[in-house]
Amino acid sequence: MQPEITGMNRTIVIMLAGVVIILNAAFAAQPASQPAKIELQDDPPILARPKPGRITGQVTPAGKIKTLRAVSRITGQTYRPEQFDENTGRFSFQNMPGDSAYDICVVTTDGREFEGIDLEFISARLDRLAEMRRVELGVPSEKIEEQFSIEDVRAIQEFVASWQDFMDTKRILYIQCQGNRATVLIELMRTREFHKSRNQGQAQSQLVWRIELWYMQKQGGGWAKLPNVERLLRRERSQLDEWQKISVEYYPQLTARLDAAGGCEPINLKIPETPDPTRGRPANTEIDMLTKPNVLPPLEKTR
């Protein structure tokens, strides 16, 4: 039996229903409860973005210059000078990406080539960044305790001579030492016949000639080549008479290094009158040349 709803009870029910409607509307208007929003921000960079810079210099005598360019061995990109004075040999490259090294390459009117060669260790840039970070954090610098010696030169020569691969002739042009690390500029050749080295109808078989940068480290008392980081500079596959026309020499002073602010020391080269076989491969030379490597810095200063 339903209870009888009196007039007063009816009024109370209506009032309660109104309160419920009002509360529902109020809650519906309020957004769902959410945690406070946190704005994500990138940490400021340790170093500012490198600024573009300018490479200047002079190559003399200017009358012997046929072409002049700058090359990044990392990217392979080639740059032409914005300005070149045919009378003085002065040149400039503009807006070059900073914090990078560029090898200046010169070809003379008689076909000789002179190229810069960056002999810094492959991790040199990372080492500089790490040192800047140490300074920022107040951490002591990492010092290289070991000194390079004539014994290290001999050990590297022995390692290269014993290296077994496709190439059968090897000659070291430069060794730049840094304690227990070294950068080696090396000439490699394949002179023995190989598969498809003699094309149909050819009287001579072809040879393979390469110029590479090796990065080596002293580990456990012995020197070893770091794997898979060597850098190829030149490669030719040709017959002997064609290969003997090559004339190229490498000079570290032809490497331009732009710092992060875009600054760079001027580059200067006086073209030598006679070729130097210790710095590269002169034209019309025998395959087997016995030369001593150029060691940098000189051993007298590393003892």
- Token duo for residue 58: 């002079």
Which of 57-66, 86-95, 191-200, 248-257 shows the lowest per-residue confidence on average (mean pLDDT)? 191-200
Q: Is the pLDDT of residue 122 over 60?
A: yes
- Per-residue pLDDT for 115 more than 50? yes
Q: How many C-alpha atoms does 181 have within 13 Å on its Cβ side?
A: 12
Q: What is the pLDDT of residue 33?
A: 59
Return the exposure string of 230-246: e unless at least 16 CB atoms fall within 10 Å of the residue's CB, then b.
eeebbeeeebeeebbeb
Max mean pLDDT range (83-92, 199-208, 234-243, 293-302): 83-92
Q: What's the rounded mean pLDDT across residues 224-235?
A: 94
Residue 303 has pLDDT above 80, yes or no: no
CB 104 within 8 A of CB 264: no
CA distance 182 to 299: 13
pLDDT at 149 > cutoff 80: yes
What pLDDT sits at residue 1?
A: 47
More confident residue, 254 or 126: 254
The amino acid at 63: G
Which band of pLDDT confidence, cut at 50, 70 and 90, is reported for residue 262?
very high
Dump pLDDT digits (tens) for 156-201: 999 999 888 888 899 999 999 988 999 999 999 988 877 666 665 5
Residue 155: band (very low, low, confident or very high) from pLDDT cuts 50, 70, 90: very high
- The pTM score is 0.79
> How confident is the model over 5-56, as pLDDT tens digits?
455 556 555 565 555 565 565 555 555 556 677 777 776 666 678 899 999 9
Give the residue, 45 or 107, on which the prediction is more confident. Answer: 107
- Give the rounded percent of residues in the chain with a pLDDT score beyond 90: 57
**Within 10 A of 248 (CB to CB), how many other CB atoms are there?**
21
- Model confidence at 105: pLDDT above 90: yes
3-state secondary structure of 46: coil
d(CA 183, CA 118) in angstroms, rounded, equals: 9
